[in-house]
């Protein structure tokens, strides 16, 4: 009962302005929105928004691309992770498809390592429109992934068409 009340209170706090911010993507012609916790200090980037958990155990980026530029965005994303010292073990790849808020999404997941030890990387490719896709990148230590499971789930489930 106590855990349920705490979870409900926390959920209410996330819904209160100031505790989370919703971003409309892309800026010029919004087709999708995502909500990120303010405690993660979200930063707008060229094609979307990125945020890091307060203890820097989990990083999330949400970026848009056209169907034609998706491959370039994924390549740039992997390059960014590599520059950060992430080494993905391609033999650990897992995939699954889902629908979130009416949007088809394909998830790719790998285990790997970075300068701090074991890490997990997840890419989510959301088919927002016939020509617009959203790429979600989540990079986390296994401990950070467990600690921030609810926040990551909330971020993913907040992705929707306006």
| Three-state helix/strand/coil letters over 4-48 | HHHHHHHHHHHHCECCEEEEEECCCCCCEEEEEEHHHCCEEECCE
Q: Tell me, what's the pLDDT at 13? A: 40
User: What is the pLDDT of the chain when averaged over all its residues?
Assistant: 88
What's the CA gap between 28 and 142, in Å, rounded? 36
pLDDT tens-digit readout, 2-18: 333 233 333 434 343 44
* Fold of the CATH domain 19-158: Protein Transport Mog1p; Chain A (3.40.1000)
Band the pLDDT of 29: cuts 50, 70, 90: confident
What's the CA gap between 85 and 106, in Å, rounded? 25
Instruction: Answer with the residue of higher pLDDT: 12 or 148.
Output: 148
1 DSSP 8-state letter = -
Average pLDDT for 142-150? 96
* Entry pTM: 0.84
Q: What percent of the chain has pLDDT over 90?
A: 82
The beta-carbon contacts of 103-109 under 8 Å, at least 24 apart in sequence, are: 103/32, 103/127, 103/128, 103/134, 103/159, 103/160, 103/161
pLDDT at 93 over 90: yes
Q: So where are the chain's domains?
A: 19-158
Q: Tell me, what's the pLDDT at 67? A: 86
């Amino acid at each position: 009962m106590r855990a349920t009340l705490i979870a409900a209170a926390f959920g209410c706090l996330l819904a209160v302005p100031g505790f989370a911010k919703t971003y409309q993507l892309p800026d010029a012609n919004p087709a999708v929105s995502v909500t990120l916790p303010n405690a993660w200090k979200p930063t707008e980037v060229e094609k979307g928004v990125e945020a890091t958990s307060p203890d820097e155990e989990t990083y999330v980026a949400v970026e848009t691309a056209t169907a034609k530029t998706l491959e370039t965005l994924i390549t740039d994303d992997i390059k960014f992770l590599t520059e950060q010292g992430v080494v993905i073990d391609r033999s650990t790849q897992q995939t699954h498809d889902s629908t979130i808020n009416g949007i088809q999404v394909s998830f790719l997941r790998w285990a790997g390592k970075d300068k701090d030890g074991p890490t997990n990387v997840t890419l989510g490719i959301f088919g927002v429109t016939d020509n617009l896709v959203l790429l979600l990148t989540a990079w986390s230590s296994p401990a950070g992934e467990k600690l921030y499971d609810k926040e990551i789930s909330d971020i993913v489930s907040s992705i929707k068409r306006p």
